[in-house]
Amino acid sequence: MTVPEAGPGPETAARPWDVWQLFFETTARLTTEIEARLKEHGCSLMDYQVLLLLWNAEDHRLRMGELAQRMVFSPSRLSYQIGVLEKRGWVRRRRCPQDARGLEAELTDEGLRAFRRLRPAHARDVEELFLRALEGDDADRLAAVMDRLARTLA
């Protein structure tokens, strides 16, 4: 309203700080709900994300450090998480051939089956709770913003 516009401009001139608060709160609600639904199938969202990264990786394995980077986990947090998944039989630790300091986390056959079992329900949840809210070129616009954010953070 304060800035003259040519043509039909946006109805709402969102105040930047409100956008941040809305982003923060909505993100919390979204991940909380998705996590709650996934947990009914016996898996936390972080568990799932680890499985997903391993699933996508060459030979279903990744170096611990690489995994920690991608998950935005501290080393100790990743160590704990992998420990949990290992006890559950979904992941195995292997010493890395190239570098005896390092370890690789590898999806077991059981982990593979668990992932395949979990995926459909989780995909539907993300679909329903997140993707459905994206209209028109929202996906592209959102991706562009996230890319810019990621670049700032790098």
Partner DNA sequence: CGCCAGTAGTTCAAATTTGAAGGAAGTGGT
Partner DNA sequence: ACCACTTCCTTCAAATTTGAACTACTGGCG
Interface residue list for its own copies (CB under 8 A): 10, 12-14, 16-20, 22-33, 49, 70-72, 123, 126, 128-135, 137-150, 152-153
CB of 38 to DNA, least distance (A): 10
**d(C-alpha 60, C-alpha 135), whole Å:** 34
How is residue 11 annotated by DSSP? S
Q: Which of residues 23-42 bind DNA (CB under 7 A)?
A: 39
The rounded distance, in Å, linking the Cα atoms of 60 and 55 is: 5
- Strands in 61-63's sheet, in edge-to-edge order, are 61-63, 103-107, 91-95
Nearer to its own copies, 109 or 128 (CB): 128
3-state secondary structure of 91: strand
Q: How far is the CB of 53 from DNA (least distance, A)?
A: 14
Q: Select the binding partner of residue 68 from its own copies, DNA, none (C-beta < 5 to 8 A, by kind).
A: DNA
For residue 52, state whether it binds DNA (rule: CB under 7 A).
no
Partner interacting with residue 42 (select from DNA, its own copies, none; CB below 5-8 Å by kind):
none
Cα-based angle 49, 64, 125 (whole degrees, multiple of 5): 0
The distance of closest approach from Cβ of residue 147 to its own copies in the complex, given in angstroms and rounded to an integer, is 7
Determine the 3-state secondary structure of 144 from DSSP. Answer: helix
Shortest Å distance, C-beta 119 to its own copies: 11
